[in-house]
Amino acid sequence: MIFAANFKTNHTRASTLAYLEQLEQKIANNKNDKFYLFPPSTAILSHNSNVTIGVQNAYPARNGAFTGEIGLEQLEEFGIKTILIGHSERRQLLKESDEDIAKKFTFFKEHDFEIIYCIGEPLEIREQGDNVVIDYLAGQFTGIDTNYKNLIIAYEPIWAIGTGKSATDLEIATTHKALKALCSKPLLYGGSVNTANIKDITSIPNVDGVLVGSASLDVNNFVSLINTAR
Ligand code: PGA
C-alpha cells in the first residue's frame, strides 16, 4: 500500500522535521508499504529514507520571473523528484486550468519527476451517477500522458475532501475499477480517509493506497492509520 500525507498549508519546517523523525522511527520495520510526505514548500528538505519527500506544487520552469512560485532549480537544491499535480484545491482556489495542469505535467515528466496526478469530481457531477462521473474524470486525463512510467493517480472526489464524509465503499470500488480500465497506474483514494475507514478503503479492489490530508497532520494518528490498514 502507498500512504501519502498531504500537509497542505499546515506545519512548519521545525514541526515537519520532528514529524518525520517520529514517523521514520515508527515505520522502521514496515518494509511492505511506501510512504510519501508533502510538506509546505518552506519545509521541503533533502532526505534519504523510506519516506519520500515531495512538493505540493511548483511552477513549470527551471527559474525565472514567476513571483511567488518555486521552480526546478529550487527543488533540485533539496533533491526533490516527486510532485503533486492537479489537486482540486489548486484547480479551484488557485484557478489552475486543465491547460495549466497539462503544461505542468509535461514539464515535470520531461524532468523525470514522479508525479501524483489528482483527479476528482464535484458533488453536482457525482449526483448525476457513475457514467457522468467517469466521463468527467476521463476528461481530466486530457493532455496527460497516462502511460508515463513515474505516474501515480489519486482519485479524490472534491465533496469528500476535508468534509469528514468519504465516498462510500461502493462509490470507490466502482470508480476505481473504471479508472483502472483507463489507466493501469497505481491508484490512490483520497478524501476524508481516517483511522475509522482506512481498513475498509484499503480492502477495496483497485485501491493501491491513500492520499491523506487532515488525518495525516498528527504523526500518531497517521501511524495508527497505517497500522490499522495492515
Ligand atoms: P482530507 O484531504 O484527507 O483532509 O480529506 C485529502 C486531500 O486533499 O488530499
Look up 127 and say whether it is catalytic: no
156 noted as active-site residue: yes
**pTM of the full structure:** 0.97
Q: What is the pLDDT of residue 230?
A: 76
Domains of the chain: 2-229 (3.20.20.70)
Q: What is the mean pLDDT of residues 59-72?
A: 98
Residue 190 Cβ contacting ligand 1 at under 6 Å = yes
CA atoms within 13 A on the CB side of 68: 1
Measured in Å, residue 111 CA sits from the centre of ligand 1 at 27
What's the whole-number mean pLDDT along residues 96-103? Answer: 97
Q: Which of 89, 121, 156, 176 is catalytic?
A: 156
Question: If you search the block for the grid coordinates 497506474, which residue do you land on?
Answer: 185
Q: What is the pLDDT of residue 47?
A: 85
- Residue 32 CA to ligand 1 center (angstroms) comes to 23
Question: Mean pLDDT over residues 172-177, rounded?
Answer: 98
Tens digit of each residue's pLDDT (9 = 90 or more) over 36-64: 999 999 999 998 889 999 999 999 999 99
Say yes or no: CB of residue 192 within 6 Å of ligand 1. yes
Q: How far is the CA of 197 from the centre of ligand 1 (A)?
A: 14
Q: Please work out whether the CB of residue 212 comes within 6 Å of at least one atom of ligand 1.
A: yes
pLDDT of residue 87: 98
Q: Does residue 222 carry a pLDDT above 80?
A: yes
Question: Residue of the nearest CA to atom 1 in ligand 1?
Answer: 213
Q: What is the pLDDT of residue 195?
A: 97
The answer to whether residue 77 scores a pLDDT higher than 80 is yes
